[in-house]
Amino acid sequence: MKFGVSTFVWVSPFNTASFDLIHKVKDMGYDSIEIAVEDKDIIDWPKLKKLADEVGLGITISGAFGAERDIASDNPEFREIGLKYIKDCVQIANEMESPVFGGPIYSAVGKTRLISEEQKKKEREWCIENLFEAAKFAEQHNVVLGLEPLNRFETDMINTGDQALSLIREIDSPYLKILLDTFHCNIEEKSIPDTIRKIGKDLCHVQGNESDRGTPGTGNLDWQGIKDALDDIQYTGSIVIETFGAPSKELARAASIWRPLANSADELASEGLSFYKKMFLS
């Protein structure tokens, strides 16, 4: 099992001036850093890869999906922007040797409405059309797309593992799988371990977040059950802490982060890693 931590824990948006995090994350004992790509053009990617290689830190890539990156939007321009963003991030993931690019790739975060069945059908068709193309592109670059269900307060499209499975099975590509974030699962699933077992080989990435997005091990998640389920499916990917220490106004609004989630970002990351090692390596 490998452990990672997201740049969201410390900074938003991550940029070249944030590269001191590479040394910090490595010194804490993590195996990888998850780069949240809010704006690809403010990051010197070759310099980042060189630095990560020098210290021996892996990189995974995750996405940030605002309204203009919505491949299921009724605005065709936004659908085009969203698909291009996914392809850009897949190329980045390939260059950074990240095995996955993950996030709510199917829609925009914060898109929550009660809509007609006809509108739902249209949006799903747009989503599937773009995911087909995205999955083909991901295959060409040997990167797996991780489709992440979000809780009902952040999306109205994919909230559960069952919904995610239904969508990826329509695409039917080995390069489109599922990313589970245990924070969202804690809201939407009857049983996180049962969901993990049901997804099985289609689980490509885990963001192991606490029930309140605070330090792992301090909330009410069934971590032992999660560990047992991951063992049962022989999961060999990473477990990553993704929470928000200094969110931008846009990110705070999207994720409803209104208060500090720990005494400090450093404390959350270091204590979270200690918990991961105790739970998953014992």
Positions marked catalytic = 148, 242
CA distance to 43, 101, 176, per residue, from 139 (Å): 25, 12, 9
Question: Checking DSSP bridges between strand 238-241 and strand 58-63, what pairing results, if any?
Answer: unpaired
> Is the bond preceding residue 13 a cis peptide, omega within 30 degrees?
yes
Neighbour-count burial of 17, counting CB atoms closer than 10 A to its CB (0-12 exposed, 13-18 middle, 19+ buried):
exposed
Rounded distance between C-alpha atoms, residue 83 and residue 245, angstroms: 29
Rounded distance between C-alpha atoms, residue 163 and residue 100, angstroms: 20
Rounded distance between C-alpha atoms, residue 175 and residue 27, angstroms: 33
Sequence-separated (6 or more) residues with CB below 8 Å from residue 229 = 192, 193, 194, 196, 197
Estimate the share of the chain in helix, then strand, then coil, as percent rounded to the nearest 5: 50, 15, 35
Helix, strand or coil for residue 224?
A: helix
Q: Which residue has the tokens 């991030």?
A: 89
Rounded distance between C-alpha atoms, residue 264 and residue 278, angstroms: 21
